[in-house]
A and B are shown apart, each in its own frame.
Chain A
Amino acid sequence: MTEHIAEPVVAHDSHNDPESIKREIRKYLYVFGALAFLTVLTVYLCFGLKMPVHTAILIALVVASVKGFLVAGFFMHLLSEKKLIYGVLILTVFFFAVLMWGPWHHWADMLGKR
């Protein structure tokens, strides 16, 4: 492949040197540990202790959100991702929330008694 004069020059960013990558690997392993712990926690609290439904929903949602944040933030490196991706995802999360809310509120606000 001939090198072209107009080929964009790519700056090798600091994220790609071996030391940074090895540090990243360590981070991934810590995150795995946290995820494993949180899994055990949520199963123990909701199922092991047989929490009533509403408490279980709260615990499960909180724990799942933390786990999700860890996977998205570190494994998917969203925490160091570009603004454009963030923008798209924030928009998506907003519409996701609207979709969660809509059918439920419609049912909750129906005319007459259910």
Chain B
Amino acid sequence: MGQRRQVRVGTQWMYADDAYKSLKEAQRVLKEEQHHEDAHKQPWIRRYVFSTDHKWIGVQYGFTALCFLLFGFGLMLLMRLQLGWPGQAFSVMKVLGETRAPGGILLPEAYNQLGAMHGTIMVFLAIVPLAVGAFGNYVVPLQIGAPDMAFPKLNMISYWCFLPGGLIMLGSFALPNGTANSGWTSYPPLSVIATNGQTFWLVGMIFLITSSLLGSVNFIVTIIQLRAKGLTFMRLPFFVWAQLVTSFLLLLAFPPLEAAGVLQLMDRVAGTSFFMPSGLVVSGQVLHNAGGGNPVLWQHLFWFLAHPEVYVLILPAMGIVAEVIANNTRKPLWGYRSMVFAVVFLGFMSFVVWAHHMFLTGMGTLISAFFQTTTMIISIPSVIVLSALFISLWGASIRFTTPMLFALAFLPMFGIGGLTGLPLGLASADLHLHDTYYVIGHFHYVVAPGTIFAMFAGIYYWFPKVCGRKLNEFWGKVHFWGSIIFINGIFFPMFAQGLAGVSRRLYDGGIQYAHAKWIAEATNPYMSISAFGLLLFQVPFIVNFFWNAGAAALGHKTVGDNHWDATTLDWAATTSPPLGHGNFVVLPVVHRGPYEYNNPDYSAADFLPQHVDVSGTAPITGGGGLHAQVAAAPEA
């Protein structure tokens, strides 16, 4: 075992003759890949429009979802203008047209449209497509060492069901009688007697649900069947576990809403009375329908989905935060096994808590007690995951990169969101808090400074992998600090408003009610100012993002393959960006768990990637796709 000469290649040390071999192999593979690309040149429409490559589909989902996120944000800004200064004329309101905002003053009916569509767009067109469609699609196959998803064509169809669904939703704004205005919850009888926009909403939902169902089948089969050799379930990155559970939720919980959507469509279009009770009188006129329907039936079917849906919104976020925290603490996650069991248990329990959204429908004591109990139980796994993430910070060597800032902020923000859910889950407290701003504060904390911050963390974290460039750190930090301050400015006062009895979905923010006027006037203007502050601080992000994405598209790479010195396969075993076709020249073989940072038995670097083979005499080259594969050649 003589000393062989070592040379420095980038940030790694390698034995000289191995460095030469690596270089020759890299050149051979690049030539091979070029030949392969040329031989399989796809027409533009196949490559960029109807792509079956999970990475490009992920980019499609991501870009589309971010556009919808911005649009939903815009709707919120219009709402907050009205809430902060009710009845005041704003020239920007004129964009809604004369019927909705005559003279720039928002009408109450129009406010309802904004509210319903803000919620629908944010949940179904922005967050889920971003968290699952974008991050899930792009990262999961890379993290499990697969060449693509199990069903690439199905993946393409999923995106192309999502986009038309989204466009139908958007298109409904152009209808003469306006878009859907019965809340994102679309409760009958109101939603059944509502205008055409509601029909568009229902049809759009059917497209979106179909897209999610097809996607969830793809994810589950991919994760179970396409894991690389040696990648057992307990060696999966937590992000993959989160996506697996999320997919089961989408698979089994969405169909009842699809059924309900069909039933509501029948009520609206075919004159049925699934949800229409007998003897309804609308505007003084008796409705001529068969009656005998049950509005609460809709609520059951809707919430049977919509409760698991909120876990669909949070689980990928937890997954991203876990990845970023492990990477930036340079140590393994504390309690990985507990987190996995917790998240599986959470998924299971999410199917038996839905009626805590229905405590005020006249539920009897027995059934109330049942749902209250299951709701309290489901808080336990959330606490386990959050605690494990907090404890993971103990004794860590924290790198305060932009993704880490967002991931760290997620923890207390999700904590607030989760804790404020507890009184809502208790039937007696919920009697007072249901349908107040307390609820709005609760769920926005979990989704906005919760999930959306985790999405930002994910964007800053994976941008170098997708583009081969990193986002600017300074502007990233500006984005972060502005966002966290102003987002709390919007949502924190909502708890006080709710406790004081300000109902939700009031177009004037509560000033019409004597009991609520004082707090509405005291808080709403400042919350609205915060909303515009939040808008201001998204500008650096948008510019940062497009500037660097554009430069990357023009081929200006600035970072190496494993920019964050990470251990998971997506970073350590692929190039940045990954190979266009099939991800891996040689599929990696996994030898260890996902977070071997600062392993005491390994001193060459502070991270040991999952797939690197340390048992042979081949030197450890760490990071970078091709080099490590060459070094690990004996296993192939």
A and B touch in the complex (CB under 8 A): yes
Q: Sort chain B's interface into a size bin.
A: 20 to 34
Flag if B296 contacts A95 (CB, 8 Å): no
Known: A106-B296, A106-B355. A99 touches B304 (CB 8 A): yes
Known: A98-B351, A98-B352, A102-B300. A110 touches B362 (CB 8 A): yes
Flag if A102 contacts B351 (CB, 8 Å): no
Flag if A95 contacts B300 (CB, 8 Å): no
Residues of chain A contacted by B363 (CB below 8 angstroms):
106, 109-111
Chain A residues close to B by CB (< 8 Å): 6, 84, 91-92, 95, 98-99, 102-103, 105-112
Q: What distance in Å separates the Cβ of B305 from its nearest Cβ neighbour in chain A? A: 11
Flag if A102 contacts B355 (CB, 8 Å): yes
Residues of chain A contacted by B365 (CB below 8 angstroms):
109
Interface residue SS majority, chain A: helix
Contact residue among B224, B256, B362 (Cβ-Cβ distance under 8 Å from A111): B362
Q: What distance in Å separates the Cβ of A96 from its nearest Cβ neighbour in chain B? A: 9
Flag if B300 contacts A103 (CB, 8 Å): yes
Contact residue among A92, A108, A109 (Cβ-Cβ distance under 8 Å from B252): A92
Separation of A112 and B365 alpha carbons in the complex (Å): 11
Flag if B252 contacts A95 (CB, 8 Å): yes
Known: A99-B256, A102-B355. A109 touches B297 (CB 8 A): no
- Asked if B367 is at the interface (CB within 8 A of a chain A CB), the reply is yes
Q: Report 12 cross-chain contacts, Cβ distance below 8 Å, ordered by A residue.
A: A6-B636, A91-B348, A102-B300, A102-B304, A102-B355, A103-B296, A105-B366, A106-B355, A106-B361, A106-B367, A111-B363, A111-B364
Flag if A103 contacts B297 (CB, 8 Å): yes
Residues of chain B contacted by A107 (CB below 8 angstroms):
294, 296
Separation of A71 and B153 alpha carbons in the complex (Å): 30
Give the 7 A-B CB pairs with smallest separation, nearest first.
A109-B364, A103-B300, A109-B367, A111-B362, A110-B362, A95-B351, A109-B366
Residues of chain A contacted by B636 (CB below 8 angstroms):
6
Separation of A106 and B363 alpha carbons in the complex (Å): 6
Separation of A95 and B297 alpha carbons in the complex (Å): 17
User: Interface code B123-148, partner A: CB below 8 Å = 1, 0 otherwise?
Assistant: 00000000000000000000000000
Residues of chain B contacted by A91 (CB below 8 angstroms):
248, 252, 348
Residues of chain A contacted by B355 (CB below 8 angstroms):
102, 106
Residues of chain B contacted by A102 (CB below 8 angstroms):
300, 304, 354-355
Residues of chain A contacted by B304 (CB below 8 angstroms):
99, 102
Contact residue among A84, A95, A105, A112 (Cβ-Cβ distance under 8 Å from B367): A105
User: Interface code B165-181, partner A: CB below 8 Å = 1, 0 otherwise?
Assistant: 00000000000000000
Residues of chain B contacted by A103 (CB below 8 angstroms):
296-297, 300-301
Known: A95-B252, A111-B364. A106 touches B352 (CB 8 A): no
Q: What distance in Å separates the Cβ of A109 from its nearest Cβ neighbour in chain B? A: 3
